[in-house]
Amino acid sequence: MTILNKPFTTLYKTAPFSEIKTKNYLPAFKAGIERAKSEIDAIVNSNDKPSFKNTVEALDYSGEELDRLSSIFFNLNSAETNDAIQKIAQEVSPLLSEFSNDITLNKDLFKRVKSVYDSKADLNLTTEQETLLSKKYKGFSRNGANLAEDKKKELRAIDKELSHLKLTFGEHILAETNKFEMHLTDESDLSGLPEGAKEAAKQLAESKDKEGWLITLDYPSYIPFMTYADSRKLREKLSKAFGSKGFNNDELDNKDNVLKIAKLRCKRAQLLGYKTHAHFVLEERMAQTPEKVTTFLNELLEKAKPAAVQEFATLEAFAKDLDSIDHLQKWDSGYYSEKLKQKLFSLDDEQLKPYFKLENVIAGAFTVAEKLFGLQFKEINTIDKYHDDVLTYEIKDHNGQLVSIFYADFFPRAGKRNGAWMTSYKPQMIKNGINERPHVSIVCNFTKPTKSKPSLLTFNEVTTLFHEFGHALHGILANTTYPSLSGTSVFWDFVELPSQILENWCYEEETLKLFATHYETGAVIPMELIEKIKSSSTFHEGMQTLRQISFGLLDMSWHGVDPSEINDVKAYEVASFGDTSLYPDVAENCMSTSFAHIFQGGYSSGYYSYKWAEVLDADAFEYFKEEGIFNKEVANKFKAFVLSQGGTENPMTLYKKFRGQEPKPEALLRRAGLIK
């Protein structure tokens, strides 16, 4: 038995990272699966008549040790991986897939669950219990419990292969990201780059014993170069490297993985009686059908496209006047957009960054959470970490009771994938009368401190931090009985509401005055800069909306049709981008081969949910604006009906309890400046 198979004896039962050896994981998974199987067997072999408590509730609490182990291991595989961990992931994922199928395809277990489900009218269940029962029943019926034995065998084989393919897809992207370096030795090649970005590039080169400067595909390196570097030729080189991840006809190519994943998902859905993967997925979403999603996206497209086309024409004319650029390319987008923004609003990120020292922004997010929800954050160093960069916090309520443990991991490194995400190391649940509090984490990739400057964030990074912190609050304030309904365990097109609504506070003077102070002088951000942030917030909103719609439509084009006849990933992608394209296509690039959200993460048939949730968050924030952005009554309602409730009720029911009405899309269109 490894340390991972015993109850943790650490403070707050946190993960004992420093005591875990990589070699512990595989035996721990095998033992954890066996323990979970015995818990399932105990439910199946019970001589007692199936009841909600001895079957449905017991099933939800089963596998707790295995779930914790999985969360620790797979979180590290995203945030602090290496070859050994990736190798174990390839070995473990099929085992977990097989175990999952052992549950959903267990005839005797399903028989017990169905018995409870069929008698639910007589059980006097709470709303949460009804939701859990329905979820468990559908978990079987939607995953093959009613299939014939030969079809069950086929389903197992598909799931096993999919688990391999998704891991490989992600490993290829990480390897491509780590492999590319643009080594510059002529300082003139960095013309236009802010001093902070130049210093970071020099520091990176020094860390690898190289002269000059290193630019990589990690966001804190890539974004500043694409936004500020005057060299169009080098922007093109970097842009093409970024856009060709998984598309280089080498051992890291993802084209076959994309086709195999899309085709296997559709085959799986059809095996279960659904037309496509999207039909299967969306049955358990607010949107319900691919047709409704496509209609939603196309209606937004209709509103956004005229604005986007006009914005693009203005940008192209601006680039022509400034630098005689006849046709804008994708590697011109960030550069000329930033120049135009500076001209229109006399505002650029370099002006703002001194007011957004990372430590101050973290404190600002905490202050917002305190003012809205009464949470108190205290950094503590008595909790084990998986890397020195990680910050750890104790969160308590106004009575001094523990609410959650919070981890924050902000800087890029070789073993960490790009992007930003929220995750959990321990779920919230009420078991044996004890409210087990969650351990929540956010992971980002911000610019590291240099020798002369602390970590200073762009405004976009500030909103990213608030976004992930919004997800974290959904986990932190969870207060449900059952783990599978707790925190962010909600319909996928509802999960972005808590994250996206919190971004709104970043644009408010009342919030910015709490934390936006100059890192050298301590001066509060000037009102004129706050006004510029607000007035520029809808800059290129049409183009941004078009971009998000294009990703949602690409997702639907892979998953909302039968892809069995598709054999050219690039050609298919270009066709799906048809109505949303503004820039000329780049032959060397392909988005699908690095679209981790849908081919590795959980967003397949769900990328539209960002825009869907924007309708919710714009409508919800209008309520806060009407009553005051720190209004306790509105905040308490949001906490009571959204943040604490997880997936215990239908999300529209919860939203209406908070808002008193269904969301109106006009709020989003108003905020985006697309209607008056």
Active site residues: 468
Query: CA of 625: how far to CAs of 418, 473, 507, 613, 618, in Å?
Result: 34, 20, 12, 18, 10
Q: Which residues have C-beta within 8 Å of that of residue 161, sequence separation ≥ 6?
A: 260, 264
DSSP state of 89: H
Question: Is 488 buried (19+), middle (13-18) or exposed (0-12) by CB count in 10 A?
Answer: buried
168, two tokens: 């490989």
Strands 402-409 and 439-443, sheet pairing: parallel
| Cα 17 from Cα 542, distance rounded (Å) | 45
Give the residue carrying structure tokens 């995400």. Answer: 421
| Cα 115 from Cα 105, distance rounded (Å) | 16
Report helix, strand or coil for 427: coil
| Cα 37 from Cα 99, distance rounded (Å) | 8
Q: Check if the beta carbon of residue 67 is closer than 8 Å to that of residue 483.
A: yes
Question: Is 370 buried (19+), middle (13-18) or exposed (0-12) by CB count in 10 A?
Answer: middle
| Cα 332 from Cα 584, distance rounded (Å) | 11
| Cα 498 from Cα 177, distance rounded (Å) | 30
Strands 182-184 and 213-215, sheet pairing: antiparallel
- Identify the helix (H) or strand (E) that includes residue 333: helix 333-345
Other CB atoms within 10 Å distance of the CB of residue 539: 17
- What DSSP assignment string belongs to 524-552? BPPHHHHHHHHHTTTTTHHHHHHHHHHHH
Number of alpha carbons in the 13 Å side-chain half-sphere of residue 605: 26
Closest CA to 24 of 62, 76, 63: 76
Q: Check if the beta carbon of residue 634 is closer than 8 Å to that of residue 501.
A: no
DSSP state of 384: -
Q: Which residues have C-beta within 8 Å of that of residue 639, sequence separation ≥ 6?
A: 372, 373, 477
Number of alpha carbons in the 13 Å side-chain half-sphere of residue 519: 18
Q: Check if the beta carbon of residue 598 is closer than 8 Å to that of residue 648.
A: no
Question: Is 434 buried (19+), middle (13-18) or exposed (0-12) by CB count in 10 A?
Answer: exposed
Please, which residues bridge with residue 324 across strands?
A: none
DSSP3 helix / strand / coil % (the chain, rounded to 5): 60, 5, 35
Q: What is the dihedral of CA 14, 19, 24, 25, to 10 degrees?
A: 30
Q: Check if the beta carbon of residue 457 is closer than 8 Å to that of residue 465.
A: yes
Q: Check if the beta carbon of residue 93 is closer than 8 Å to that of residue 167.
A: yes
| Cα 612 from Cα 292, distance rounded (Å) | 11
